[in-house]
A and B are shown apart, each in its own frame.
Chain A
Amino acid sequence: MSGGIAELVAQLLGVRAKLDAAAVTALRARTDAEVALARLAEVQRGSSDQRLRAAVTDAEVARDKAGRYARLLAEAARHITTYVNTIAPGAAPTEPAGDDALPSGERVVTEAERRGRRADIAWRKQVQKADDTEDSLKNAETSAREVFKFFKQNGDDQGGTTSGTTSPGPTPGQDRPHVDNPVTAAVMAAGALAVTVKAIWNHGKARRARKRDNNDQA
């Protein structure tokens, strides 16, 4: 690679890293807005206050736009990858170098959306089965609760392990702080969701690790 091209590639990779980071930020914003909306709806229950309705409307627009920004940023990063690999084949890895690298925004967006689509398919299938056989989803609810009740009665051999890898969970009775205004709710939701992207990333990491283990054993 000549000096001029090497410099250009380095600059483009720098831009791509910034786009990736921005895509992750936008995806976080979208997820946070989504959860804040759910909380808002909860808090809003029974109130027809114009300001709360306006908050919902604005948050919905923000959620949709943030999702669009995330996709566009990831797309822009992808175009740069393609271009760089054309002028200097192999110079732009499509995956981050190692497991400790930050997740590519493109990959995070793609994985989350892909999971969403697969979950949609599974749910639609379940609803379709209920329709086809004139069965009721309520029956799934009843039987699921029976299983959980059974585990509760049988105590320790089923559930009940606490991982203890982080701070202990909240004590019973104080599980959820009382939320009395939508701003608090939105802030809480943002805090709770800060880990989501990390979780998506860890998820992929764990899977890659498993794949490696499998390959080692093979």
Chain B
Amino acid sequence: MIKPELPEYIRTMVRGDYAANDAVEAKLDAEGWDGLPRYLAAVFFLAVDRRFGETASRAEVIALVGELRAGLATGGPEISAEAAEQLIMSIIDPSLDYSMSQEMIGRIQAATVQKILTEENLSDDELNAVLAEAVNLAARP
């Protein structure tokens, strides 16, 4: 079961409502972040699927990854370009494999979710629907 603070954490991040995000973060710090890796993986999947579907070209992915890295260039955690391309391509084409640490996976997923969901210009209803669908995906057996 995904605790409701997790979608709220992502929602406030995407909306740039950092005061509310701080409050959710404090609550999660106190109660535990259980379920974040799977929930984030589900949101990442939906964000990539929304942007690229199942037929994106490598060039489009490379361009996105370039922007991801640029967004972190001013002292943020570093993302390997090759790893990010592999991870995103593995969503577009599930037959593709990758090799990287969980640490790198977490970075790529967080940066990608923030970028795509921010840029897609979702209405509040649409953003809530994406986050709710991710709750369902993360609850699958």
Which residues of A line the B interface, CB within 8 A? 31, 34-35, 38-39, 41-42, 115-116, 118-123, 125-126, 129-130, 133, 135-148, 150-152, 154-163, 165-169, 172-173, 175-176, 192-193, 195-196, 198-200, 202-203, 206-207, 210
Contact A140 B124 (CB under 8 A): no
Inter-chain contact A199/B129, CB cutoff 8 Å: yes
Contact of A148 with B13 in the complex, beta carbons under 8 Å: yes
Chain A contact surface mostly = helix
Contact call B1/A154, Cβ cutoff below 8 A? no
Residues of B within 8 A of A147 (CB): 72, 76-77, 106-107, 110-111, 114
Which residues of chain A have C-beta atoms less than 8 A from B124's C-beta? Answer: 163, 166-169
Q: Is residue B26 within 8 Å, beta carbon to beta carbon, of the partner chain?
A: no
Residue B62 interfacial (CB < 8 Å) = no
6 A-B pairs in the complex with CB atoms less than 8 angstroms apart: A115-B46, A122-B45, A144-B110, A151-B71, A162-B15, A163-B121
| Cβ < 8 Å to A, chain B residues 1-43 | 1-4, 8, 11-24, 33, 36-38, 40-42
Does B90 make an interface contact (CB < 8 A)?
yes
CB distance from A80 to the nearest CB of B (A): 28
Whether A137 contacts B23 in the complex (CB less than 8 A), given A123-B38, A155-B18, A196-B132, comes out as no
With CB as the reference atom, state the residue of chain A lying closest to B136: A34
Q: Is residue B61 contacting chain A, with contact meaning CB distance below 8 A?
A: no
Alpha-carbon distance A21/B50, docked complex (angstroms) = 25
Q: Say yes or no: A193-B132 contact (C-beta < 8 A), given A172-B23, A175-B8.
A: yes
Knowing A41-B1, A163-B121, A172-B23 touch, does A122 contact B91 (C-beta < 8 A)?
yes
Q: Which residues of B contact A195 (CB under 8 A)?
A: 125-126, 128-129
Report the minimal beta-carbon distance from B68 to chain A, rounded to whole angstroms. 10
A159 touches B16 (CB 8 A): yes
Contact call A116/B140, Cβ cutoff below 8 A: yes
Is A42's CB under 8 angstroms from B4's CB?
A: yes
Per the 8 Å Cβ criterion, residues 94-141 of B in contact with A are 94, 97-107, 109-111, 114-115, 118, 121-126, 128-130, 132-133, 135-137, 139-140
Specify which chain A residues have a CB less than 8 angstroms from the CB of B46 in the assembled complex: 115, 119
Q: Counting CB contacts under 8 A, is B53 at the interface? A: yes
A137 and B51 CA atoms in complex are apart in Å by: 25
B70 to chain A, nearest CB (A): 10
Contacting A172 at CB < 8 Å: which of B19, B50, B74? B19
| Least CB distance, A171 to chain B, in whole angstroms | 8
Known: A130-B102, A159-B114. A38 touches B129 (CB 8 A): no
- State in angstroms the CA–CA spacing of A154 and B75 once bound together: 10
With A and B bound together, what is the CA distance between A119 and B138 in angstroms?
Answer: 9
